[in-house]
Amino acid sequence: MEKIKFAAFAAILSAMLYTPMFCDNTAEVWNRETEVYAERDLNDDGAADLKIEVAKGKGINVKLGDKAYEGLFQCSISDFNGDGKKEALLVNLDKNADEVQFLLFGMEKEKMRLFSSWKKPLKGESLDISYILNSDINKNGIMEMIPIFKEKESGFINRWYILEVSQNKIKEVLGEGLQGYNIGELRITEDGRIMKKSVSYDEAGEAVSYTKAYFAIEDGKYSYKASEGPFKYYGISKEETDKLLKKISAEEGVPYEIISSIAYIESRGQQFVWGEPVISFDGGIGIMQVTPMNGSITIQYTGETFGPENIERMKTDAEFDIRVGAKILYDKWLSSFGGALPKVSDMNPDVLENWYFAVMAYNGYSKVNMPGSSWKGAYQERVFNNIKGFNKEYFTADKISAHGFDSDGLPARGKIYELGDKLSVRQTTGYELNAGDEAAVKVEGSKLRNSPNLSSDGVITKLAAGERVRILEDGGLSSGYRWYKVRLLDKETEGYIAGVLLKKD
């Protein structure tokens, strides 16, 4: 997913695109899923007025002048009051979900001060909140905000409000309670209407369809405009997604640890949100956020091309979306051998560190992904930060600088980055398999091979999920996987299979 043009924006927003949120292009927004340190100059005097630091899952810490706010839910910067200057909006959700508070700060006479605040009691009802920023919903020339509150048990929206800033004061324009309605998602459309998505279930409690209803604020009134649907509700569980990631990583020759972390960073591992395919602001599709260029995707080193019909398939076929993403990642890996990226050590695919520049290029081989001294922000660093055992010390700004740069300031293409001994070798099963152990095949269609590698002409047979095997010996590491020589219990057939495809009895 090369996103060089959008990479800076995506680095801020990628973790939050899958909540019911829309931002106009003037707003910067941070939430608790973003690893970042940032400084911002609100009055353009060359000095930082605001400092933001986010440690994933631990809240947002913001320092405004001599005041500090810790554990915030969200923070954004934009011109909220329409005066041509930027303000900072801090959103605090207390730990017991008893109250939400919005705080608006701005510069006045070269000093930061609190302009106004807005708060609502929640009484522990809220699972989470989001807020929508839009340029102007009610056509009065001022940007609106929509706080959204969800029920803990169902995840459905039960309340929402429309807020705006007038003369530096936050005021409530409209509020609606939705208890009793299966409202899964709220969005602002490009033409400024409010879209609410309701979900329908069958007798077994499975979501089967959804409908979209559109509303608008006109002449100070909130009115119904149109509806669409019902549409088919698409879904896939986390367990099914993980099985696909393991299967495809083995088949396409990319590390499971890396591809699963990419899936989380790109989409939180989601192919669908409330029944619809996940499509990002710049066209990234599904779990792997594959972004078509001019209506197609071309894999350079294998020559595979995916046209419009494949693009549509990626939206509803999670397995296909993951597979295309895996092919793109493997293509970036191969590009090191062609001199388009640096090589890392001996390029043994079993070593996760050796995939560093391939992962960087998946998002964009550009300066926005240069590593910083604090190890926050760059795409590949966020990916590897999810993987236990990955040795970050080899890829600090100083270490990469010591290896040299291209004329454009990027790590030197074609150069070999030598690493030391403290490397992470992949553990693809999560447990040990030893000679004599019995195991079951986890993935339907897993391939039994005549040698421990991914050679396409070395397949003996395909195995059914649940088929049992006996471990004969460790087949070693190859093609990014730990292999095992096995015997089928009911057929006496012997061959090799990747350990990631086996479950120990």
Q: Where are the domains of the chain?
A: 7-232, 238-417, 438-504
Tens-place pLDDT, residues 309-350 = 999 999 999 999 999 999 999 999 988 988 899 999 888 887
* DSSP one-letter code for 355: G
- Tell me: pLDDT of 37 over 60: yes
The class of domain 238-417 in CATH terms is mainly alpha
Q: Cα 93 from chain centroid?
A: 23
CA torsion sign for 348, 350, 356, 361 is positive
The burial class, CB within 10 Å (0-12 / 13-18 / 19+), for 200 is: middle
- The residue with greater pLDDT, 481 or 352, is 352
- Please give the Cα distance from 330 to 325 (Å, whole number): 9
Pick the range with the lowest mean pLDDT from 29-38, 148-157, 322-331, 428-437: 428-437
Residue-wise pLDDT tens digits, 166-193: 889 999 988 887 777 889 999 888 888 8
Q: Label residue 126 by pLDDT band (50, 70, 90).
A: confident
Amino acid 366: pLDDT: 86
Question: Is pLDDT above 70 for 7?
Answer: no
Residue 3 has pLDDT above 80, yes or no: no
Residue 5 pLDDT exceeds 60: no
Q: How far is the C-alpha of 290 from the C-alpha of 325, rounded, in Å?
A: 6
User: What percentage of the chain carries pLDDT values higher than 70?
Assistant: 91
Per the document, the length of the chain is 505
The top-scoring range by mean pLDDT among 11-15, 221-225, 313-317, 346-350 is 313-317
**Single-letter code of the amino acid located at 198:** S
Mean pLDDT for 265-281 is 92
For 9-13, 157-161, 332-336, 413-417, which range has the lowest pLDDT when averaged over its residues? 9-13
Beta bridge partners, 91, equal: 74, 102
pLDDT at 2: 47
**Span 395-453, pLDDT tens digits:** 888 888 888 888 888 888 988 988 887 888 765 554 568 899 999 987 778 889 999 88
Average pLDDT on 493-504 reads: 86
Write 326-329 long-range contacts (CB < 8 A, 24+).
Answer: 326/248, 326/249, 326/252, 326/254, 326/259, 326/288, 327/252, 327/299, 327/302, 328/1, 328/288, 328/290, 328/297, 328/299, 328/362, 329/254, 329/258, 329/259, 329/262, 329/358, 329/359, 329/362
Does residue 99 register a pLDDT over 70? yes
Specify burial of residue 309 (Cβ count, 10 A radius: 0-12, 13-18, 19+).
Answer: exposed
What's 47's DSSP letter?
S
What mean pLDDT is predicted for residues 75-96?
Answer: 86
Distance CA 244, CA 256 (A): 10
Look over the chain and give the mean of its residue pLDDT values, rounded to a whole number.
84
- pLDDT of res. 498: 84
> Where is average pLDDT lowest: 125-139, 220-234, 408-422?
125-139
Distance CA(118)–CA(139), nearest Å, equals 22
Per-residue model confidence (pLDDT) at position 219: 78
Assigned architecture for domain 438-504:
Roll (2.30)
Report the pLDDT value the prediction gives residue 431, as an integer from 0 to 100: 54
3-state class of 245 per DSSP? helix
Residue range 85-92: average pLDDT? 90
